Amino acid sequence: MKIVITGGAGFIGSNLAHALAQRAEVSDIRVVDDLSTGSKDNLVGAGVHLVEGSVLDGPLLDRAFRGADVIVHLAAVPSVSRSVADPLTSHHANATGTLMVLEAARRAGDVHVIAASSSSVYGANTHLPKHEELRPAPLSPYAVGKLAAESYLAAYHHCYELPVLPFRFFNVYGPRQPAGHDYAAVVPAWINAVTTGQQVLVHGDGLQSRDFTYVETVCRVLAEAVLRKVVSADPVNLAYGTRTSLGELITELEAVLGTPIEPRHLPPRPGDVRHSHAENSRLRSLFPAVEPVPLREGLERTVEWF
Ligand code: NAD
């Protein structure tokens, strides 16, 4: 199989590239990435071909998609707070970028498109757990872009019979997730803070909760979706229904790192949702064989990588 991963030099994409490179069924992996947040270093040893450039470049996509069997579209400006600071850049990369990928897939023909949406689309809809039939209520430009992206996938399935699969990722963490920048996710940001002697910063009261998913779990699902060409026009939550408050995450990290953590609380950030917890019966029915890596084990492996 020939696979293209957009955003493949980033955190999740590079983990997927390394995972797929081990599979006998996969003969060729191409990565399309503008290296805006991703890095070539993430791909060392994966044996992939990097096509450096933007998903907003149609001719570049045409070249990269030629002969591909599956496209895993992960390229995005993947941050709620960055989208609040700069909504247009977020929209171009996330919504228009997805449309560009779908158009290039349609031109290429006979290709399956798997794409990353986000739990942030549930936004202001406070119902828990989050199941896919809930009314989306985006709270940030990022969430709007992701809702547009997954809606485009469904539309391309209906209008052009393009085989698609939109996943709603929850909070993914693990090796190769960068820390030490303004938009870093909590797990790497906090591990980095503790291991470099800085204070752990918590936006809000710490009672907000997330469904943390280890990146290897995500890649197990993505790899199966690629190899079995699983199709669904409806979005699929990709998380395993473990609800962890940020306070509980700190307790877990204290155990894993073997040190007490005294966080400093900052005001809540605009655009952030309060609670996020997946209902995943759709995922379980499509991918019954995948077992998730538990939070403690995932945190241990992430700390080892640091
Ligand atoms: P990441 O920033 O590590 O990866 C995104 C990659 O896309 C980077 O390598 C970046 O250089 C590339 N990119 C950005 N704009 C591009 C463009 N215009 N053209 C080509 N490449 C471009 O982020 P990630 O955490 O690996 O996220 C991967 C996907 O998963 C994104 O679509 C993100 O929105 C989604 N997602 C992630 C999480 C999470 O918890 N990490 C949660 C929900 C959804």
**Gap from CA of 38 to ligand 1 centroid (Å):** 8
* ipTM > 0.90, yes or no: yes
Measured in angstroms, how far is the CA atom of residue 258 from the centroid of ligand 1? Answer: 31
Tokens at 192, concatenated: 């980095």
Closest ligand 1 atom to 120 CA: 43
- Find the 5 Cα to ligand 1 centroid distance in Å: 11
Both tokens of 224, joined, read 């199966």
Q: Residue 30 and residue 64: Cα distance in Å, rounded? A: 7
Q: Which residues contact 208 (CB under 8 A, 6 or more apart)?
A: 245, 246, 268, 272, 273, 274, 275
In this structure, the residue with its CA closest to atom 39 of ligand 1 is 172
Distance 75 CA to ligand 1 centre (A): 5
Among candidate residues 297, 277, 275, the one with its CA nearest the CA of residue 175: 297
203, 84 Cβ separation under 8 angstroms: no
**Amino acid making up residue 293:** V
Q: Give the position, in ligand 1's atom list, of the atom nearest the Cα of 178.
A: 3
* pLDDT tens digits for range 159-200: 999 999 999 999 999 999 999 787 789 999 999 999 999 999
Instruction: Indicate which residue's Cα is closest to atom 15 of ligand 1.
Output: 76
Residue 280 in this model has a pLDDT that exceeds 80: yes
Q: Provide the pLDDT confidence category of residue 273 given band limits of 50, 70 and 90.
A: confident
Extents of the domains making up the chain: 2-173+213-241+277-292
Distance CA 77, CA 89 (A): 8
55 pLDDT band (50/70/90 cuts)?
very high
Nearest 5°: the CA angle 73, 235, 160 is 70
CA of 74 to the centre of ligand 1 (A): 5
Spell out which residues line ligand 1, taking CB within 6 angstroms: 6-7, 9-13, 32-38, 54-56, 74-78, 93, 97, 116, 118, 169, 171-172, 185
18-55 residues labelled b (16+ CB within 10 A) or e (exposed) = bbbeeeeebeebbbbbbeebbeeebbeebebebbebbb
136 and 122 in contact (C-beta within 8 Å)?
yes
Reported CATH class of domain 2-173+213-241+277-292: alpha beta
